[in-house]
Chains A and B, each alone.
Chain A
Amino acid sequence: MATTSITIDETPRIRSFLALADDALILGHRTSEWTGHAPTLEEELALANIALDLIGQARALYQATGYAEDALAYLRDPPQFRNALIAELPNGDFAFTIARLFLVSAASDLFWRGAMGATDPDLAAIAAKAEKETAYHVRHAAEWLIRLGDGTDESHRRAQEALDTLWPYTGEITASVDREAWLAVVAPILARATLAQPAESWMQAGGREGRHTEYLGHLLAEMQILPRSYPGAAW
């Protein structure tokens, strides 16, 4: 049977755009899963704002590749996705969601700040917009992480567990920035949160090459179901 999947001619430029876009889409998708289930009504709105920013970034980046954005999002198979593994991990509890958002956003923000001066005009333009959005994601996640780390015994335990689980996945997201600069953003917040910074050790990788966790297939199966079930239909 014919597949609905598309094939991409991945030039280095397209590959780098896909990595950024897939990070944003997959993390945005995960964040959007909180809708209706957040710990407070105020946080419902905050998380939706962040998800919308990320989905918007993904769209701008996909569009800059010359391929149709929906074909890229809905008609690629898991091995064609270039996102970092950390983005696709399930949301876990609120501490996990916040800790991941903080760690990823801190790296993204550094990247976007650098990319504002990129010679690729598309990248520079997207960076100028994305940097402001991401700076707020860092702020929001950091404020929460401080409260969760410092709050109660239970919230501290959950935040520390989340951080320990996530740390081995941070290698991929800091590969395109200076890890020392990233640590300089992360460490003071962890200190204020009274959280122990995990040791630098083995880092998980593979997302950029399309070797993903078991979770991405499920995420995409859900996300892509309509375009996959009704090939060629417009929505």
Chain B
Amino acid sequence: MYSQALNTKDTAAADASPDADRFQARIDAEERIEPNDWMPEAYRRTLIRQISQHAHSEVVGMLPEGNWITRAPSLRRKAALLAKVQDEGGHGLYLYSAAETLGVSREELTDQLLSGRAKYSSIFNYPTLSWADIGTIGWLVDGAAIMNQIPLCRCSFGPYARAMIRVCREESFHQRQGYEIMLTLCRGTPEQKAMAQDALNRWWWPCLMMFGPPDTESAHSDTSMRWKIKRFTNDALRQKFVDATVPQGQFLGLTFPDPELRLDEASGHWQFGTIDWDEFRRVLAGNGPCNRDRLTARQKAHAEGAWVRDAALAHAAKQQRKAA
């Protein structure tokens, strides 16, 4: 579903070797880098970190929405939600595959997630409290994801770009699914409309945080831009998202929980209030409402699956011995 601009400090050493110059020239010429090509170590590290964070986000992202699969209010909604959450698992898998081309294994990456060393998008540390949250996640969280992921289809690293093309193609229904839920609620009973408004109130600001810290605070972003891993800054994407989303919310008849939100006629952009970056840092640091639950759920699934994975390997080994 989403890779957050979480890029922690990794000041790429300004490598001045001839290899590095050739590498940068290829990037500048919009050539794609493939797994076996020479690449600066910092490029490899940045990609492994970003792709695996993205993969972890997809996998952890199954949990908040998965919370409503058994309570989806119609069979049509149940099938759509299950298919969507399944897609997120699939996207995690495509992304782990892309990361593995860089010489890191799925087991190592999983271990990084489960041990709490790896980060994932902060948005999934918020709870899904009503059915309207499912609509809101599709509409806003997937909407934000699309803003971020479309440019990643042109990322300089071939396997990541190819995985993102597949992800974007599959995700095209996710946001529509969410918006349709919101539309139905907003046209429904007063209780349903209140449910929708409450969900927007809770999710709006965390969604704006999904784009990561403001450009003034993310110096490392320059390197990612130079390497064409990233093509737009956090603030540029955030603005694009707000501009696209506000009219959609108005169509629903909902009120955004931001008294400062207003259209700037001169620029055509929606101006919004100040984001609570303390909350963002708090959630990233592990103190969001659901950080512990999310990680525990993944740890439990992994631990309880160990005997299953062992059994499959043991059977395969027996078959190989028989064949030998």
Contact = CB atoms under 8 A, between A and B. Distances in A.
Interface of A: 25, 29, 32-33, 35-45, 48-49, 51-52, 55-56, 58-59, 62, 69-70, 73-74, 93-94, 146-148, 150-152, 154-155, 158, 222-223, 225-227, 230, 232-235
Nearest to B86: A48
A40 B78 contact: no
10 contacts: A25-B75, A33-B69, A55-B78, A151-B314, A154-B311, A222-B71, A225-B71, A233-B191, A235-B77, A235-B184
B86 A59 contact: no
Contact of A151 (B83, B93, B184, B315): B315
Contact of A41 (B59, B73, B312): B59
B90 A40 contact: no
Given A38-B305, A39-B306, A233-B188, 11 more contacts: A32-B69, A36-B63, A36-B66, A43-B305, A45-B93, A48-B89, A49-B86, A94-B304, A147-B316, A151-B311, A227-B73
B86 A39 contact: no
B52 to A, nearest CB: 13
Contacts of B82: 32, 35, 48, 51-52, 55
The main secondary structure of chain B at its interface with chain A is: helix
Given A155-B311, A222-B70, A52 B77 contact: no
Given A41-B89, A52-B83, A152 B305 contact: no
Contacts of B301: 36-39
B217 interface: no
Contacts of B304: 37, 39, 93-94
Contact of B96 (A41, A55, A150, A233): A41
Contacts, number: 141
- Which 7 pairs between the two chains have the least Cβ-Cβ distance? A39-B305, A151-B311, A155-B311, A48-B86, A226-B73, A235-B73, A39-B308
Contacts of B307: 152, 154-155, 158
A45 B297 CA distance: 17
A222 B71 CA distance: 6
Contacts of A233: 188-189, 191-192
Interface of B: 59, 62-63, 66, 69-71, 73-79, 82-83, 85-86, 89-90, 92-93, 96, 131, 181, 184-185, 188-189, 191-192, 297, 300-301, 304-316, 318
A68 B254 CA distance: 31
Contacts of B188: 233-235
Contact of A55 (B75, B131, B316): B75
Contacts of A74: 73-74
Contacts of A230: 189, 191-192
Contacts of B93: 41-42, 45
Given A39-B301, A226-B131, A55 B70 contact: no
A235 B135 CA distance: 11
B65 to A, nearest CB: 9
Contacts of B96: 41
Nearest to A29: B70
B77 to A, nearest CB: 6
Given A52-B86, A58-B75, A155 B310 contact: yes
Contacts of A25: 75
B73 A148 contact: no
